[in-house]
Amino acid sequence: MPELPEVETLRQDLSKEVVGRKVKAVAVGNGRSVRRHPSAKHFRALLEGRSIKSVGRLGKYLLITLDNGSTLVVHLGMSGQLLRVKSAKEPKPKHTHVVITFTQSGELRYVDPRTFGEMFISGSTTAADAEKAAGNGASSTTAVLPVREAIPELSHLGFDPVEDVMSWERFAIMMRARHGGLKALLMDQQFAAGIGNLYSDEILFASGLRYDRLSDSLSATEARRLYRAIVETLAEAIKHRGSSLADEQYRDLFGEVGDYQGQHQVYDREGLPCRRCRNSIVRSKTGGRSTFYCEHCQV
């Protein structure tokens, strides 16, 4: 399941591969992938003819900025892939739902068997919007807005642990302001954007904290350790181009697997010896999902 490191890997590759390209045609095979739009036709019309200016990311969302100021937002859900191919003749994988063809040949394919992911265009100014903005005065003409304001659909997201650097003291204050299990909090996209089941387990192991510790029970040292673990674990996973597990779907822009699964300390290691203390890694089920941890190293 693509989380922040996998999406960041895609972002880096996309900025090299598609920035400056112009969209010639868009084909939508499964309308569910563009469900925020009234129709596939509507989505296509907003994307065709546009050029790609830059590629950003917020949490697990890719933000592909277009030359008219709108943004193509992509979320991969559980099983989504974004694949760059040089020729339209390359065989199309099953569940290819959207194909973006560029003028200079080659295409970008959106593949998603489980259709939990989606694509949508944000901030496209219709004639009515333009009129409204003109009436509202000068504020709409300012060049670059922060992402959360520019894309109202993502305004609910919390801080991005890679993009939004903060002091550990501030993080500790945020932890104390909440009351709940650490794992649920890490995975709450309104608290921190981009951490899912896999990386929350790895982060908690790296910080030596149990998934069910309460966020307002941490000492200053523990809060600092947790903040460091978040930043360092994600950075390390990005260096390794993300995690691809045997039963999972993650592939980078070129269809290659990531490398970080070899570094996992707890995730998907039930019954295997802890790499630090040799005790068996435990799996517990909470709220329908698995948590992997070491009962000895995490307190």
Partner DNA sequence: ACGCCCGCCTGTAAGC
Partner DNA sequence: TGCTTACAGGCGGGCG
Q: Distance between CA atoms of 178 and 19, rounded to whole angstroms?
A: 40
**From 78, 133, 257, 282, residue interacting with DNA (rule: CB under 7 A):** 78
**From 55, 147, 192, 198, residue interacting with DNA (rule: CB under 7 A):** 198
Segment 134-193, which members bind DNA (CB under 7 A)? 156, 178-181, 184-185, 187, 189
Question: For the window 231-270, what string marks contact with DNA as x by the rule CB under 7 A?
Answer: ---------------xx-----------------------
Residue 271 touches DNA, criterion: CB under 7 A = no
DSSP state of 281: P
**From 152, 272, 290, 296, residue interacting with DNA (rule: CB under 7 A):** 290
Residue 75 touches DNA, criterion: CB under 7 A = yes
* 239 carries an active-site annotation: no
**CB 204 within 8 Å of CB 210:** yes
Judged by CB under 7 A, the number of residues near DNA is 35
* 92 carries an active-site annotation: no
* Residue 60 neighbours by CB distance under 10 Å: 25
Q: Where are the alpha helices (DSSP H) in the chain?
A: 4-17, 40-47, 127-135, 147-150, 168-176, 182-187, 197-207, 220-239
Buried b (16+ CB within 10 A) or exposed e, 14-43: bbebbeebebeebebeeeebbeebeebeeb
Output the smallest distance, CB 108 to DNA, in A: 21
44, 57, 60, 213: which one is catalytic? 60
Residue 91 touches DNA, criterion: CB under 7 A = no
* Residue 109 main-chain phi, psi, to 5 deg: -115, 140
* 273 carries an active-site annotation: no
